[in-house]
Amino acid sequence: MSGTPRRQLSVPAPEPARSGRPPLPPGPYLVVGLGRSGRAVAELLSQHDRVVAYDANPALAGVDTLKSRAEVHLGGDGRELLVGVRTVVKSPGVPREAPVVVEALRSGRTVIGELEVAWRLLPNECWAVTGTNGKTTTVELLGAILRAAGREVVTAGNVGRPLAALVGRIGPETTLVVEASSFQIEDTIAFCPDCAVLLNLGVDHLDRHGTVEAYHRAKLRLFEHQEPSAVAVAPVGVAVPGGGRRIAFGPAGSGAELEFSEEGLCWCGEPLVARSGIRLRGQHNLENAAAAAAAALACGVSAEPLRTALASFKGVPHRLEEVARIGGVLFVNDSKATNVESTVRALEAFPDGGLHLIAGGRPKGGGFRALRPLVAERCRAVYAVGEASEELVSDLSDCVPVERCGTLERALERAVARARPGETVLLSPACASFDQFRDFEARGERFKALVRRLSASDGAVA
């Protein structure tokens, strides 16, 4: 594709953004779960009606500032707090099986999530991205594309900044690009993004959803309420609900509007950008770039700013993030790989092998046998940490040596002892972080700090 024409491609005229939203459900409100999104929505709703804020953790920190705006309760199962409450706002980390949520549903109260509460109060054009893997990268890439096109944009949602924190703080001309997890989507009632993007449907969160089918249904709810003025982007061959205008992406020859191959991207049969013009590493990121390009072009972004963003966007923290090269060994932080499929994609990004894989944490169900082919082909050893250690040993030890290391510190120490110049130490856990860390960011930051300590002692530049 070295001769890719540098011209603006023909794209459909964008429909005007939706500005209408359903009203807030009635208060008083009970907010269940006081993490980042719970605290943000409790503060927001306190401007509208009485708010009771509850978390099952009796020792939860960080809620003191909320006490001036809401009646805060910690510990217990929370069912007694439903008295006088008309709407329950559930944080995504709280399962629907929690006693207070079960009782709220049984009694006919409205149960809704922070994502939709905030969306109802924001008139902005809203794009939403979901999928098993690649959400954060694609959200931030879409943000980069829209900025290159001269638009004001804010990324939020599961990517880290609660949508509720933006109400009253951004102008109506700002486009929202939202990362939407299955936990957030299952708590929606009328959420209707102007552009909805499904990246892929794998296996994840079986510990929460129970079955693959239930997990996939939660993802596809993102499209249910779209109208013909909206855009629905999905992999070719995947049927999505709702009335949005379908745009497909898929491999070359699939007949999708946006096709990808090792040569690059094509839009409606015409070359768009060569693979060398996409900075992100790995086949999975080629697919993420295809999904982002399909969404942007379908919504009226021209080809030039799209090419500019694809050429300059280097990814997000904790996703195949190159931390340092020490003594010829590359250290890569992929802490955001919280499921097996994501780790498969990380391993695929290193075709030359020589990998020392640090994996483990809190498993999500389904085991690690799907890693076996790539581990056998590309890894010299696996260093198991956290609650998943025994399962990793059971599933992978006949492929390569698997060491029980317990902690991230010990795993890195053992990997450094084994690794040779030209090889890579890769943190790609295939597990949640909650057995030893607050979240995947904390796990990734700890890995980077440990590597930089090595780098300083080695004299290398991180």
CA 347 to CA 324: how far, in whole Å?
Answer: 18
Which residues 6+ apart lie within 8 Å of 277 measured at CB?
4, 264, 307, 310, 311
pLDDT for the residue numbered 459 = 41
Annotated binding-site residue? 138: no
Phi-psi region of 237 (alpha: psi -120 to 50; beta: other; left: phi over 0): left
* Residue 158 falls in the annotated catalytic set: yes
Residue pLDDT, tens place only, 33-55: 999 999 999 999 999 999 999 99
- What is the CATH code of the structural domain delimited by 29-111? 3.40.50.720
Asked whether the predicted pLDDT for residue 304 surpasses 60, the reply is yes
* Residue 205 falls in the annotated catalytic set: yes
Residue pLDDT, tens place only, 162-215: 999 999 999 999 999 999 998 999 999 999 999 999 999 876 665 676 788 888
Annotated binding-site residue? 285: no
Pairing of strands 87-90, 195-198: unpaired
Q: How many residues does the chain have?
A: 462
Strand order in the sheet with 258-261: 153-157, 175-179, 126-130, 195-198, 231-235, 245-251, 258-261, 264-267, 270-274
Catalytic residue among 135, 318, 336, 364: 135
Asked whether the predicted pLDDT for residue 19 surpasses 70, the reply is no
- What is the CATH code of the structural domain delimited by 122-312? 3.40.1190.10
Buried b (16+ CB within 10 A) or exposed e, 351-375: eeebbbbbbbbbbbebebebbeebb
Annotated binding-site residue? 4: no
- Cβ neighbours around 403 below 10 Å, total: 20
Asked whether the predicted pLDDT for residue 1 surpasses 90, the reply is no
Residue pLDDT, tens place only, 245-303: 999 999 999 999 999 999 999 999 999 999 999 999 889 899 999 999 999 999 999 99
**Residue 31 corresponds to which amino acid?**
V
- For the chain, the structural domain boundaries read 29-111, 122-312, 321-457
CA 31 to CA 90: how far, in whole Å?
Answer: 6
Fold adopted by 321-457: Protein-Tyrosine Phosphatase; Chain A (3.90.190)
Asked whether the predicted pLDDT for residue 216 surpasses 70, the reply is yes
CA 219 to CA 199: how far, in whole Å?
Answer: 10
CA distances from 306 to 153, 224, 265, 287 (A): 15, 28, 11, 15
231's enclosing H/E stretch is strand 231-235
Catalytic residue among 124, 158, 200, 285: 158
pLDDT for the residue numbered 460 = 43
Asked whether the predicted pLDDT for residue 417 surpasses 70, the reply is yes
Asked whether the predicted pLDDT for residue 121 surpasses 50, the reply is yes
Annotated binding-site residue? 136: yes
Q: Give the pLDDT band of residue 378 (cuts 50, 70, 90).
A: very high
pTM listed for this prediction: 0.80
Written as six digits, the tokens of 135 are 């959400």
CA 236 to CA 249: how far, in whole Å?
Answer: 5
Annotated binding-site residue? 211: no
Annotated binding-site residue? 65: no
Q: Yes or no: say if 157 and 229 are a contact pair by the CB < 8 Å rule.
A: no
pLDDT for the residue numbered 6 = 33
Catalytic residue among 73, 124, 200, 205: 205
Annotated binding-site residue? 67: no
Residue pLDDT, tens place only, 65-108: 999 999 999 999 999 999 999 999 999 989 999 999 999 999 99
pLDDT for the residue numbered 462 = 36
For the segment 379-407, the average pLDDT, to the nearest whole number, is 98
pLDDT for the residue numbered 212 = 85
Asked whether the predicted pLDDT for residue 347 surpasses 80, the reply is yes
Asked whether the predicted pLDDT for residue 306 surpasses 70, the reply is yes
pLDDT for the residue numbered 457 = 74
* Residue 284 falls in the annotated catalytic set: no
Q: Give the pLDDT band of residue 309 (cuts 50, 70, 90).
A: very high
pLDDT for the residue numbered 144 = 98
